[in-house]
Amino acid sequence: MFQFLYSQLVRLALPLIFLRLWWRGRRTPELRRNWRHRLGLAPRLQGPVVWVHAVSVGETVAAGPMVRRLLERLPEASVLMTAMTATGLAQAKRMFGDQVTYAYAPYDTPGAVRRFLNRVQPRILVIMETEIWPNMIRQSRVRGVPVFLVNARLSERSARGYERIRPLALPVMRDISWVAAQADSDAERFRRIGVAPDRVDVTGSVKFDVDIPAGVREAAGQLRARFGDRPVWVAGSTHAGEESPVLAAHRRLLAAHPDALLILVPRHPERFDSVASQVSDQGLSLARRSRNQDPAGAQVYLGDTMGELMMLYGASDMAFVGGSLVDRGGHNPLEPAAWGIPVFSGPHVFNFETIYQRLLDDAAVGMVSGAEDLARQLIALCSDPDRRAAAGQRALRVVEKNRGALDKVVAGVVGRV
């Protein structure tokens, strides 16, 4: 009954969902392309198919090393990567080219999921982190498709939410074949909301197995050469409400280091133009990457392209990770940490609590409360190159010593196929 009511609510919401998709597609045309995938009309595939679902950019990047290993270990299989966002698919295509097939995931109605499964016929479904869609999971299991939730995390807030809808959530949790949890606390919460205890293992976070391809390193070096010998910091994956304190911090930094450069990378493409206007309104000189404008004389370099954040981190001396000064739960701090540069974050990091705790334990991240705090730490590190290098090395050591989850996840998936 609860599954039926849920499905009816999703069906009723579809006209509004598609209207919003069309509206956002005015500024981001990629959102309107292949919209039929969302109704289940995905490309038809032949042979054994490994379906990997990652909601957006961060999850897609985390899935990258695992997909490479699966391509090696299962050479007879085709890999289908799905996402809910255009940026997620763009990132996947940038990483894999024609090695895998791409599609938007279907909206979670019985009909859309059924059409999708009929056309794709997956052998297994690997879901990154906590993308728990009742119809996707239940219909896959009805067809005998194992469902793996890997790099799985579940905050206390989310666990309480699932407990409030237990009649809907419990049957879905029982259909999950295996949960590869990031930490003991995540594993305990998954068991608490109904996943069978013997189907939950703690493997660690595959995000520590971050992979920086040689091409990305080369591109980062070339861009850094364009910046010249000046302090460069990046604010990555910023959300509405964060650009104002970031720009205020940069103005304070400029007072101490007039040649400093901020690389500003908003999380969502539809905000690129509004953020550019915000920079100009504050009287800061701006260069936009999408227009190939020269950053040499700019005070702010807008990273208004898709799928390049990892490279932009590598062209910087320090990094602030967005989604953390507002209540969004933060984004992945290991991407800049893997470059060996100092990492800063706001207080709202519940989406990455285990990772941040590892960084905090080794004094490998600077937690800031706002513009003044961020500016103070930036100025201190810009004024002391040795201290800046030491902070970056602490961040890199945390990444290096926590690697290994990827091997456990790949072995667990392949062993259960």
Catalytic residue IDs: 59
Q: Beta-carbon neighbour count of residue 248 at 10 Å? A: 16
CA-to-CA distance for 301 and 293, rounded, in angstroms? Answer: 9
Q: Is 232 helix (H, G, I), strand (E, B) or coil?
A: strand
What Cα–Cα distance (Å) separates residue 338 from each residue in 137, 209, 243, 248, 395?
33, 9, 24, 27, 7
CA-to-CA distance for 365 and 332, rounded, in angstroms? Answer: 12
Structure tokens at 15: 């006209």
Of 42, 92, 47, the residue nearest 68 (C-alpha): 92
Strand-by-strand arrangement of the 178-181 sheet: 101-104, 78-83, 49-53, 124-128, 147-152, 178-181, 200-202
Q: Is 75 helix (H, G, I), strand (E, B) or coil?
A: coil
Using a 10 angstrom Cβ sphere, with 0-12 exposed, 13-18 middle and 19 or more buried, the burial of residue 97 is exposed
Residue whose entry in the numeric block shows the structure tokens 């926590």: 402
DSSP letter assigned to residue 306: S
Structure tokens at 134: 């009742």
Of 94, 168, 176, 191, the residue nearest 131 (C-alpha): 176
Q: Are residues 281 and 195 in contact, defined by beta-carbon separation less than 8 angstroms?
A: no
Q: How far is CA 155 from the centre of its chain?
A: 16
CA-to-CA distance for 285 and 415, rounded, in angstroms? Answer: 55
Nearest 5 degrees, angle CA 153-CA 370-CA 320?
Answer: 55
